[in-house]
Amino acid sequence: MGIKILGLETSCDETAAAVVEDGVQVLSNVVASQVEIHARYGGVVPEVASRQHLLTIIPILKQALSEASVNLKELSAVAVTTGPGLAGSLLVGVNLAKSLALATGLPLIGVNHLEGHIYANWLEGSFIEFPALCLIVSGGHTELVLMKDHGEYLLLGRTRDDAAGEAFDKVARLLNLGYPGGPAIERAAKGVSDPFPLPRAWLPGTADFSFSGLKTAVLHLARDLGVSEDSPPELIGRIAAGFQEAVIDVLVTKTLRAAEEHGARQILLGGGVASNLRFREELSSRSPLPVLIPRPIFCTDNAAMIASCGYFKLKAGRISGWDLDVDPGAQLLSGSS
């Protein structure tokens, strides 16, 4: 009998619950997206998100248990995202996890959301070798992390302004492509052979990133070209592709450079932007090292990645106490939860 862990994730606008066995085998993975609710505002509205989590979390929990054909007594622990994320949203997951642990006697394990994105790679059944260079690229984060072992991280670089996914979302809005921006930009850029050349911020000598200058360059280009809702899709496609190429070029180049400098044996990707097929292709073809990329459903926010991380924490005896609390600004630190 394997060790089955329930994972809960409510850090942003996805309400998610999953059951994972031995950290690698996904028995269920239920995600209720609020994207349609937030789309009309062009981004996530925190107050709306936490209310929606409250309405959805219990049915989602029940569905995750029933799809995995387990009851609470057959679980070995409850793992939950504590941060980074929206405080009101995180509270819904953390309070449910605490109640479940209290009612059942199961161990409670707090998981850092970024650590979860890294652990999504364990759900693919690949053999992972340390040290691994991890790039987490999502709506809120762009972080290059050296993972030396389970739970041991060294932050090498991060964005100094917009996260990569945030830049996709903002540029999509500029181009009237809607929300969420990443998939919309990817669709608009598909098959474009003559993208507009746009600048890259290399920030030499650091592993940090910057995307706000690129966003401003898109704004100027769109103004110069008189972009409006009636612009031809070919024109929008050329701008979207130019933007996408610039982001991908910087992400891939800096990731490969950091991997070489730190003697990484593998590259692991995580976060919503890692579901971009053009990015996946480019990194895999330019990398001399094996590149692991979770399936798109495990790149975007989900609870299976939280359950997987929870398994390795349980094995290491890193169980949380009743004082476990949300940490909206949490960093990825060694031994963090």
- Contacts with ligand KG4, residue ranges (CB under 6 A): 12, 138-140, 165-166, 168-169, 180-183, 186, 271-273, 275-276, 300-301
The torsion angle over the Cα atoms of residues 164, 170, 173 and 174, rounded to 10 degrees, is: -110
Those residues with Cβ within 8 angstroms of residue 151's Cβ, 6 or more apart along the chain or in another chain? 115, 312, 313, 316, 318, 334, 335
Angle, helices 233-261/164-174, rounded to nearest 10 degrees: 170
Kind plus residue range of the DSSP H or E element containing 135: strand 132-137
Q: How far is the CB of 89 from ligand KG4 (least distance, A)?
A: 11
d(Cα 43, Cα 47) in Å, to the nearest integer? 12
Between residues 23 and 271, which has the closer beta carbon with respect to ligand KG4? 271
**Which stretches of the chain bind Zn ion, using CB under 5 A?**
138, 301
For residue 312, the partner it binds in Zn ion, ligand KG4, none, with Cβ less than 5 to 8 A by kind, is none
For residue 168, the partner it binds in ligand KG4, Zn ion, none, with Cβ less than 5 to 8 A by kind, is ligand KG4
Q: How far is the CB of 167 from ligand KG4 (least distance, A)?
A: 8
d(Cα 60, Cα 201) in Å, to the nearest integer? 42
Q: How far is the CB of 272 from Zn ion (least distance, A)?
A: 6
d(Cα 165, Cα 142) in Å, to the nearest integer? 8
For residue 88, the partner it binds in ligand KG4, Zn ion, none, with Cβ less than 5 to 8 A by kind, is none
Q: Is the peptide bond preceding residue 131 cis, with omega within 30 degrees of 0?
A: yes
Q: How far is the CB of 191 from ligand KG4 (least distance, A)?
A: 15
Between residues 85 and 242, which has the closer beta carbon with respect to Zn ion? 85
d(Cα 24, Cα 250) in Å, to the nearest integer? 31
For residue 110, the partner it binds in Zn ion, ligand KG4, none, with Cβ less than 5 to 8 A by kind, is none
Between residues 10 and 65, which has the closer beta carbon with respect to ligand KG4? 10
Q: How far is the CB of 117 from Zn ion (least distance, A)?
A: 6
Between residues 115 and 301, which has the closer beta carbon with respect to Zn ion? 301
Q: How far is the CB of 13 from ligand KG4 (least distance, A)?
A: 8
Strands 25-33 and 142-149: unpaired
- Give the N- to C-terminal CA distance of the chain in Å, as an integer: 27
Between residues 172 and 236, which has the closer beta carbon with respect to Zn ion? 172
For residue 294, the partner it binds in Zn ion, ligand KG4, none, with Cβ less than 5 to 8 A by kind, is none
| Backbone angles phi and psi of 19, in degrees to 5 | -120, 125
Q: Could you give the count of Cα atoms lying within 13 Å of 28 in the half-sphere of its Cβ?
A: 23
For residue 169, the partner it binds in ligand KG4, Zn ion, none, with Cβ less than 5 to 8 A by kind, is ligand KG4
Between residues 52 and 138, which has the closer beta carbon with respect to Zn ion? 138
For residue 273, the partner it binds in ligand KG4, Zn ion, none, with Cβ less than 5 to 8 A by kind, is ligand KG4
